[in-house]
Structure formats: C-alpha cells, structure tokens
C-alpha cells in the first residue's frame, strides 16, 4: 500500500481482497478526532459571533402617556435600517444587532404628530431612549388594556361608543363596562353571568337555541354588536375571547343603525381580545354542578422577528347538563386573531369567532290566560325541575363571525378606518316551547327544520381631531352598508295535551312523536333579504376646554327585497287586503343625536345631557292607503359623571325619558287594518359606581329604576306596563378584597347579589301573569398568582327560585371550581 493510500484510508487496514477492514481502536480514534474538529469549529464560530456582537449595539426604550401609563401597540421605526416593531403592553420596544452610528427613531401614534428622535448607538452598549407624550392622546387612552395601580374593574375609555377620540367624561351618552378582570374573579363563564354586573340587565333570557338577551331601559337588547359593528349570533356566544362588555344605553341608531345590533334600550357591544407583543397565554379548567366541564386556552405569540405580526388564539370546550331532569348543552368555540403593522401608518386586524353547539331547548312556558285572572308563575304548579321533552329533541347551531379592520393614519389629524364584518348563524333540529291549554294542561310546540342567517356589514370611517381657529373639533364621517339574508325551512308541530300538574311518571315528548306529526304540520319555507345604505356624521365641538357640544345625523335607506316562497318559487305579492306588506319596499329614515357636556372639574366631574334617536322600519298602509312611516324612539337624558381620587371612584348617575312614536295599533273602526298613532313611554333613573377605596378592596354596584307604559295603544294594554319589559327596580353589587402584600398576596374573597322587583310575562286589562321579585346572592374565593389562578364560586347560595321573562326557571344553588395556569 502506498503512503497516499494509507493517508486516504487513515488507520484502516487492507485485506487480501483489496477492501478496507477497520478495527475498533481505529474507529474510536477517528471519532475523537472528528469531535475535536467540531469543537474547534463551533468555538471559532462563537468567538466570531461574540466579537461581531461586541462591535454592535442595541436600542431599548419605553413609550408612555402624559400620566406615565404605558402605550401599547405603537409603531416604532428605525429609519436608517428600515426596521420596525411594536411596543408591548408595558410600552417597551427593543432593537438589537445594530452597527455603531447615528440613527433616527420614528413613532407613529394615532391622533398625534409623527415623532422623530435622534439616537447614538455605541459599540457593545445598550442605549436607552424613552419617550413620553407631551399632550393627552385620547385614542391612545382608549387602547390601554387595563390601567395600572388603580381601579382594576374600571375600563371606561372606549373607541367604539362614539367612534371618536372621546373620553367617558366628555361623552354625553351613558355606558357601562364589564372587564375580563371582573368576570374572571367572579368565575363568570357565560354572558348571562357577566351581565349581572350591568345595571338594569335583569335575569338573562335564554332563547331556545342558546341565544341570550337582556333588558335595558324597559326594552329587549341583544349582544349583537362586536367591536362596534354588527356581529349577530343566533346561537350560543362563548365569552372566551372577550376583553370586556360595553352596555351602551339608550336609542343608538345614529351610529349603530337599526340593525340587529341596536334596540331602543341600547347596544351590547362585545369587545374581543387582541394580540399583544410577546409570547404568553393561559390554560384553564372549570368544573362544577350538574356535570359542568369547561376547558379554555389562550395563546399569544409574535409571528415575525420584528414583532409587527402578532397572533392570538382563544378556544373553549364546554359540556354541561341541565339542573332539571333532562337537558344538556355541549359547545366548542374557536377564536383566532391576527394583527399586522403593515407599515408605520397602516395596520390590519383580522378576527374570527367560530362556535358550534348541540343542546336541548330551555323551558319556555306560555301560560293559559283564557280564564282572565291575575296569577303568579310561582303558584301555577308548573314543575320547576321538570322539562317534559326528551334529550333526543336537540338542536345544533353553528356560528362564524369574521371581522377585518384596516387603519391608516392619513395625517396627524385624520385616520381612515375600513371595517368588514361577516356573520353567519345556522340552526338545525328541534326547538320547543310549552303552551298552556288550561290552568293544569299544556301542549308542546316543536319547531323542526333549518334556519340560517347571514349578515354583511361594510363601514368606512374618517375620524378627525382638528382645530378651526382656537376651537377643537372631533369628527367622524362614515358610510355604512348592511345586508341581511335569511332562510327558513321548518315545520311547526303541536303535541297532544298533557297534564303538567299531575303528569304520568313515564310521560315524555320524544323525537318519534314529533317526526310523526311533521307530515300534517304547518310549515315555513321561504327566503328574505334586505339592504341598508347609510351615511352619518358626528362632531364634538369644544366651545371652551370644559364645555363641548355634540351634533350628529344619520341618513338611512332601507330596501326590503321581499319574501321568496320556496314552495311556489315566487316573490310574495305586495299589499294584502288588510294593508300588510310582504313584497319589496323601501323606506328612508333620519336619525339625529345631540349632546352637551360641561366638565365642572376638568377630567374629574362632568354634567351632561343628550337627545338620542332610534328607529325601526314599518311596512304597509292604513285603511286610506297612506304608507306607514318609520317608528321612532327619542330620548332625553341628563346626569353627572365622575372619575375622581386618581380613578379610585368612577360613577354615573342619570335620568332618562324615552318616547316611542308611530307604533301600529288596531284600527278601532276596522280591526282588519292598523293605524300608526300608538305611543309608549319609558323613563327612569340609573346609577353605577366602580370603586377602589384602598388597595385590594373593590366595589361594583348599580341601580336601575324604570317606569314603562303604553300611552296610546290598543284598549287591552293602554296605560299598562309592557309585558317582558322586566322589573321596575333592579339592584346589583359585587364587593371583593384581595390581599395585596405579604405571603398571602393574591388571596381574596368576594360576594355579590342581584335583586329585582316583580314583573310581568303577560299584562293586559283582563289577564296578568306575574313573575315574583327575586334576591340572588353569590360568593367567591380566589388565589391569583403570576403563574396560576385558583377560584371557587357559589352561585345563588340561598337557592332562590327565579324565572326569566319567558318563564324559564333559573338554576338553583350551583358550585364552580376553576384553575388556570399562566405562561
């Protein structure tokens, strides 16, 4: 063997056939040699990297508001290197691996001038460059997730209520907020439990497919606004992705339209969680009475190195049985969210809600009222714990809401906001109610089939904050398009009469009974749709620094496309003999809004008044052929708002008066026609406080008084309080104490309650069904640490029997236990 062969084969040996044979000693020797070579290579690489880093520097900084609160999600650019990032929840930003030299930091903050700051980077050093706003920036305040070192349950500043850079004290409209910090402490796992903290919300009404509605100033109000635009959901809405609930009070059609998002009582706006600028999250479990099991996940992460693309995923799976003898609900919610700072002026937010549920309808009882008497549901002997319908009569719902928002900073004074919202809900299966036939018998009515709802909302807003001479103006100019499309393919069946006072032991309405009845049942097979085109403008004009007025107007064009009969394949014709309209028609409405605010103590106490409007489109003609006009609700309100003692006491007290005009009522001269001169009044007082008297001690309380009545209506109800308007008096409170120092820091206890006076399910001159007054109390214990949280909750500890306005029995005493791991 030649020397070259020996070198090529290293320490191997050549056998007689010319092949190489390796011995163990040679193999071990070569492995050691190879390891030493790798160690040398990576050592040199590390030294090179460290040396290169020593030749580079870093920039670290913090962006804060005038009062020192951190500014989150602010665009920070490094001009010379074409790099960009976002501040985190603490207002911090960071650039690394920078060559020594001079740089310029650029800050783009909505509602403020562009800021450019020179900075010098030195080799091997971390240069700190902080910036504090020199003037108050309300848009920045509205983006603060939670204020530090102050009232943790108060988050009043919102960019959705007025769609303007307007503080709560500057806003002539009343609204309540419920933050996620509060409903986490209360182990509130559904919207009904969260709404206990809203003055005047009352006992939540659960619809037959899991949808929840509330009372507000004597009117039914649904949580169908999402991030300030229509986000209808005719199904279970899981709160796993909620940052807070905003209960906006009074007719609000000027900005929110008359779509499903708004009622005469106001708007319930669901504000969703947004991605943030670091990795983190939480995994939680809640278990409790009646086989309640709930698993939640919240994961957030930056997507790119510069942290300008952020992703967050919230999800929940919930499984529970009814407290009654039958009934269940299983649901799955998935809510991803993605934000992207496209450049220093433009940002994009994508938000999705997906929910799928299977369950049985809650009890909805419609008592027999033919005996013309006053009676209470508590005395009717209708079983509180019995359902009468089997678990095989279940419904399935699916909901998906898609939300996209593009913000563009046009200038230091103007911002463009483009919004697209798409909502879809479907309901399949069986939905039921129980209708009384006599004082002791009833029949089950079951709706079988499919219903679907699709809504599209497109908005373009231009939001300005500018001066004309010395007078400040804050203005929004917007265009709004809303399309609604509905599909119905369902049967309405009625079972045989049964005795609910003394039912047979084995009585149960099941799927076989209902399916056998559908062939001879009434049905609804149709499609309908409508379009709304609107434009609005709202301006807040500062007469002085403490006195401001608001003027707003909406022009709304509603176009109903008619009802398409699936069975005949035709659009149903225009007017019937009684003047009702089923064919296409159009209607134009004007919705004004005005307000005045005077801050008697700047940024602390303000007096306010407002005139607000809502409307509903009305179709048809009267006996003389006159076309009906839109129905209008006009509110006058005045009150006082306070935010004092460094945010430790935040509250509102107001008086309102709402008058509804153009209500249809039966024509007394011809019962086949209607006349449009009906009126309804709703007036009352609302009070709310959120207090933090000393560290760790928190109080949330509210009171609502409402006096509603028909003032010009059909004789059967004229002068009476409307049924389903809820109690006239309602009170809510939650008081908690959390140890803020020492070895037991984070341990706390809380308790609260909800009380309401009696109300009506039916209220006519001849028949009344009374819902008794109620007093419900809850108790909670919790231990909150940076890495985990544990909670125990006891709802309705006195086992009070209560009913919603649909006479749905509410759950008795319930226990929930929760544990969450944070990372």
| Contacts for 101 with CB less than 8 Å, ≥ 6 apart | 80, 120, 121
Q: Which residues, including other chains, have CB under 8 Å from residue 170's CB and lie 6 or more apart?
A: 540, 548, 597, 599, 606
The Cα 761–Cα 203 span in angstroms is 13
Q: With contact defined as beta carbons under 8 Å apart, do 45 and 53 qualify? A: no
pLDDT of residue 52 exceeding 60: no
Q: Look up tokens 């006058």; give the residue.
A: 636
Q: In 144-213, where does DSSP find H-type helix?
A: 180-185, 191-194
pLDDT (mean) for 305-321: 95
CB-based burial, 592-604: b 16+ in 10 Å, e otherwise: ebbbbbebeeeee
pLDDT digits (tens, 9 = 90+) for 660-675: 999 999 999 999 999 9
CB-CB contact of 749 with 780 (8 Å):
yes
Residue/partner pairs of 515-518 with CB below 8 Å, 24 or more apart: 515/448, 517/493, 518/448, 518/491, 518/493
Q: Does the pLDDT value for residue 706 go beyond 80?
A: yes
Q: Is 620 left (phi over 0), alpha (psi -120 to 50) or beta?
A: left
Angle of CA points 333, 338, 343, to nearest 5°: 170
CA distance 144 to 137: 11
Q: Give SS3 for 54.
A: helix
When mean pLDDT is compared across 2-6, 300-304, 457-461, 476-480, the lowest value belongs to 2-6
Instruction: Indicate the SS3 state at residue 198.
Output: coil
SS3 31: helix
Look up residue 508 and give its two tokens. 């149960």
Contacts with 624 (C-beta within 8 Å, 6 or more apart), sequence order: none
pLDDT confidence bin for 20, thresholds 50/70/90 = very low
Hey, what are 175's tokens? 């609204």
Instruction: Label the pairing between strands 441-468 and 498-499.
Output: antiparallel
Contact 756, 743 (CB under 8 A): no
Q: What angle do CA 420, 425, 427 make, to 5 degrees?
A: 175
Distance CA 745, CA 96 (A): 36
Q: Which of 610, 615, 616, 613 is nearest to 598 (CA)?
A: 610
Cα 107 to Cα 96: distance, rounded to the nearest angstrom: 18
User: What values do phi and psi take at 166, rounded to 5?
Assistant: -130, 125
Query: For the purposes of burial, counting CB atoms within 10 Å of the CB of 21, is it exposed (0-12), middle (13-18) or buried (19 or more)?
Result: exposed
- Over residues 518-554, the pLDDT tens digits come to 988 999 999 999 999 999 999 999 999 999 999 999 9
Categorize the per-residue pLDDT at 785 as very low, low, confident or very high, splitting at 50, 70 and 90.
very high
pLDDT-derived band at 21 (thresholds 50, 70, 90) equals very low
Contact 454, 485 (CB under 8 A): yes
Q: Structure tokens of 367?
A: 């008592």
Mean pLDDT across the chain? 90
CB 250 within 8 A of CB 267: no
Average pLDDT over residues 790-819: 97
Beta carbons of 360 and 327 less than 8 angstroms apart: yes
**Residue 235: half-sphere exposure toward Cβ, Cα within 13 Å:** 33
Q: Kindly state the tokens that stand for 95.
A: 């650039």
H or E segment and range at residue 143: helix 138-143
Region 319-342 average pLDDT: 96
CB 70, CB 64: distance < 8 Å = yes
**Can you point out the beta strands (E) in 80-174?**
83-86, 92-99, 101-108, 115-121, 126-128, 131-132
Q: What is the mean pLDDT of residues 91-108?
A: 90
Cα–Cα distances (Å) from 151 to 65, 115, 158, 198, 300, in that order, read 18, 31, 16, 17, 26
- Residue 17 pLDDT grade (very low, low, confident, very high; cuts 50, 70, 90): very low
CB atoms inside a 10 Å sphere around CB 243: 18
Tell me the pLDDT tens digit for each residue of 549-596: 999 999 999 999 999 888 887 877 655 555 555 678 999 999 999 999
* CA separation, residue 181 to residues 152, 154, 203, 244 (Å): 7, 10, 22, 9
Contacts of 334 (CB under 8 A, 6+ apart): 313, 314, 315, 352, 354, 355
Q: Is pLDDT of 38 > 80?
A: no
pLDDT at 544: 96
- Position 42 pLDDT exceeds 80: no
- The answer to whether 430 and 394 are in contact (CB under 8 A) is yes
Tokens 């992207």 belong to which residue? 340
- List pLDDT tens digits, range 439-467: 999 999 999 999 999 999 999 999 999 99
Q: How confident is the model at residue 14 (pLDDT cuts 50, 70, 90)?
A: very low
For residue 410, the tally of other CB atoms under 10 A from its CB is 12
Is residue 276 pLDDT above 70, yes or no?
yes
CB of 424 within 8 A of CB of 376?
no
Task: Describe the strand order of the beta sheet including 225-226 as a list of residue ranges.
Answer: 175-179, 242-249, 266-272, 225-226, 229-230
Element (H, E) at 483: strand 471-494
Q: Which two tokens stand for residue 488?
A: 């119905």
């Amino acid at each position: 063997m030649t020397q070259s062969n020996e070198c090529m084969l290293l320490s191997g040996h050549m056998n007689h056939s010319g092949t190489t044979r390796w011995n163990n000693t040679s193999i071990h020797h070569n492995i050691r040699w190879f390891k030493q070579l790798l160690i040398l290579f990576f050592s040199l690489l590390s030294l090179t990297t460290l040396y290169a880093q020593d030749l580079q520097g870093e920039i670290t900084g913090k962006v804060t508001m005038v009062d020192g609160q951190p500014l989150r999600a602010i665009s920070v650019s490094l001009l010379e290197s074409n790099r960009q990032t976002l501040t985190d929840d603490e207002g911090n930003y960071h650039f690394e691996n920078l060559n020594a030299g001079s740089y310029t930091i650029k800050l783009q903050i909505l509602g403020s001038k562009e800021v450019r700051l020179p900075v010098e980077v030195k080799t091997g050093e971390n240069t700190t460059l902080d910036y504090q706003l020199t003037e108050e920036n309300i848009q920045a305040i509205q983006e603060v997730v939670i204020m530090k070192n102050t009232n943790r349950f108060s988050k009043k500043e919102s960019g959705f209520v007025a769609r303007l850079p307007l503080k709560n004290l500057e806003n002539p409209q009343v609204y309540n907020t419920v933050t996620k910090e509060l409903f986490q402490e209360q182990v509130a796992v559904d919207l009904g439990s969260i709404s206990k903290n809203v003055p005047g919300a009352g006992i939540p009404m659960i619809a037959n497919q899991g949808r929840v509605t509330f009372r507000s100033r004597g009117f039914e109000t649904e949580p169908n606004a999402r991030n300030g635009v229509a986000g209808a959901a005719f199904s279970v809405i899981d709160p796993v992705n909620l940052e807070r609930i905003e209960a906006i009070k009074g007719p609000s059609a000027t900005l929110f339209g008359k779509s499903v998002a708004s009622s005469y009582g106001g708007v319930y706006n669901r504000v969703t969680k947004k991605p943030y600028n670091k990795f983190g999250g939480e995994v939680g479990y809640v278990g409790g009475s009646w086989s309640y099991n709930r698993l939640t996940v919240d994961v957030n992460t930056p997507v790119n190195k510069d942290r300008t693309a952020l992703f967050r995923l919230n999800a929940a799976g919930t499984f529970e049985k009814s407290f009654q003898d039958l009934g269940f609900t299983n649901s799955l919610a998935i809510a991803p969210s993605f934000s992207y700072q496209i450049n220093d002026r433009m940002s994009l937010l994508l938000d999705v809600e997906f929910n799928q549920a299977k369950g049985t309808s809650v009890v909805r009882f419609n008592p027999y009222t033919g005996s013309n008497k006053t009676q209470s549901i508590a005395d009717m002997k209708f079983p509180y714990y019995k359902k009468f319908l089997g678990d095989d009569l279940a419904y399935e719902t699916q909901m998906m809401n898609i939300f996209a928002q593009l913000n563009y900073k046009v200038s230091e004074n103007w911002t463009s906001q483009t919004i697209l919202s798409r909502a879809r809900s479907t309901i399949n299966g069986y939905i039921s109610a129980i209708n009384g036939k006599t004082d002791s018998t009833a029949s089950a009515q079951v709706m079988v089939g499919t219903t679907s709802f699709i809504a599209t909302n497109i908005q373009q807003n231009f939001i300005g904050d500018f001066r004309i001479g010395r007078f400040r103006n804050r203005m929004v100019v917007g265009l709004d398009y809303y399309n609604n499309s509905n599909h119905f393919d369902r049967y309405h069946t009625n079972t045989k009469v049964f005795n609910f006072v003394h039912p047979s032991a084995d009585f149960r309405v099941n799927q076989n009974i209902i399916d056998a009845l559908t062939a001879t049942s009434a049905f609804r097979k149709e499609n309908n749709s409508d379009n709304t085109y609107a434009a609005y403008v709202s301006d807040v004009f500062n007469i002085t620094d403490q006195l401001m007025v608001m003027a707003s107007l909406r022009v709304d064009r509603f176009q109903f496309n008619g009802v398409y009969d699936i069975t005949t394949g035709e659009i149903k014709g225009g007017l019937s003999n009684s003047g009702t309209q089923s064919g296409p028609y159009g209607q134009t409405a004007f919705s004004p809004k005005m307000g005045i605010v005077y801050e008697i103590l700047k940024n602390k106490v303000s007096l306010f008044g407002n005139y607000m409007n809502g409307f509903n489109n009305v179709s048809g003609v009267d006996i003389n052929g006159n076309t009906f006009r839109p129905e209008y609700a006009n509110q006058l309100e005045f009150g006082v708002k306070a935010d004092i003692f460094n945010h430790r006491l935040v509250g509102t007290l107001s008086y309102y008066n709402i008058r509804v005009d153009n209500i249809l009522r039966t024509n007394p001269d011809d019962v086949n026609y209607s006349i449009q001169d009906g009126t309804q009044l709703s007036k009352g007082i609302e009070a709310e406080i959120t207090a933090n008297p000393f560290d760790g001690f928190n109080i949330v309380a509210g009171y609502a008084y409402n006096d509603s009545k028909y003032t010009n209506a059909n004789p059967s109800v004229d002068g009476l309080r409307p049924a389903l308007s809820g109690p006239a008096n309602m009170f809510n409170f939650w008081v908690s104490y959390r140890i803020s120092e020492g070895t037991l820091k984070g341990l706390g206890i809380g308790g609260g309650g909800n009380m309401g006076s009696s109300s009506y399910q039916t209220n006519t001159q001849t028949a009344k069904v009374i819902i008794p007054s109620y007093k419900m109390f809850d108790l909670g214990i919790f231990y909150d640490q940076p890495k985990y949280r544990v909670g125990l909750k006891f709802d309705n500890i006195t086992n009070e029997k209560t009913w919603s306005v649909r006479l749905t029995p509410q759950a008795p005493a319930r226990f929930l236990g929760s544990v969450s791991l944070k990372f």
